[in-house]
């Protein structure tokens, strides 16, 4: 596992001209909506913040499609759909990033079930080959490890990876006053052959905007 990861990441850093961007997002609206939503659900049907982040990434890719796809034979090939690879750590060590297919059109409840199922099968070693081959972008979320920000390395032939850190209370200016707000850092590592910093900035801004209206995800 480590040898395969090492080979892929070495190839990535050698061949892909990465650029890196980050933004800090106020998640107050997300957390307030999530608490209210989960109060109406059974324990087994409750949503985690991670699924809202994945859905926001998927919807933002509709606005910046050049981040969704693969670099093959010296050109960008758009993905056949928005298939978000989710980085999952394995109990025995190592990492896989299988796909949540068509994440942009899947409702939050089903997406949450699909994510839980994907994690369980990844750790049981029962993933389908298509789930490992199909991702058109990857999301890595290290918030549960206490990480403030995660700048990932692109998994070739993909052209982008999104990272999320922990949600934590920070001083934030609201209507001219400083108050504690739950915020997180979102990062983008992208292939400069397929996109540029301006488009990457548009993408991160779209994620921020979408998360301010979680009821619409």
- Report, as residue numbers or ranges, the catalytic residues: 192
Alpha carbons within 13 A on the beta-carbon side of 134: 16
Distance of CA 144 to the CA centre of its chain: 14
3-class DSSP state of 160: strand
Q: What are the structure tokens assigned to 20, written together?
A: 């890196």
Q: Which residues pair with 187 in a beta bridge?
A: 22, 163
Q: Which two tokens stand for residue 132?
A: 């490992």
The two three-digit tokens of residue 198, written as one number: 């301006």
Task: Give residues with Cβ within 8 angstroms of 9, minimum separation 6.
Answer: 153
CA 74 to the chain's CA centroid: 25
| Strands 84-86 and 137-141, sheet pairing | parallel
The DSSP element (H or E) to which 140 belongs, if any, is strand 137-141
Distance CA 53, CA 141 (A): 9
Strand 137-141 to 99-100 pairing: unpaired
């Amino acid at each position: 596992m480590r040898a395969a990861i090492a080979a892929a990441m070495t190839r990535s850093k050698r061949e892909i001209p990465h650029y890196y961007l980050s933004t800090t997002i106020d998640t107050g609206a997300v957390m307030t909506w999530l608490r209210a939503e989960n109060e109406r659900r059974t324990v087994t049907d409750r949503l985690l913040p991670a699924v809202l982040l994945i859905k926001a990434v998927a919807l933002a890719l509709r606005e910046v499609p050049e981040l969704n796809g693969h670099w093959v034979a010296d050109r960008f090939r758009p993905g056949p759909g928005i298939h978000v690879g989710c980085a999952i750590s394995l109990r025995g060590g190592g990492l896989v990033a299988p796909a949540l297919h068509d994440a942009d059109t899947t409702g939050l409840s089903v997406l949450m079930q699909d994510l839980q199922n994907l994690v369980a099968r990844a750790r049981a070693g029962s993933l389908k080959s298509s789930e490992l081959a199909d991702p058109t972008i990857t999301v890595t979320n290290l918030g549960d490890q206490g990480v403030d920000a995660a700048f990932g390395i692109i998994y070739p032939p993909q052209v982008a990876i999104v990272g999320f850190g922990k949600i934590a209370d920070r001083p934030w200016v609201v209507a001219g006053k400083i108050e504690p707000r739950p915020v997180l850092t979102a990062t983008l590592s992208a292939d400069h052959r397929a996109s540029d910093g301006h488009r990457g900035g548009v993408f991160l801004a779209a994620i921020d905007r979408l998360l301010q209206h979680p009821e619409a995800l």
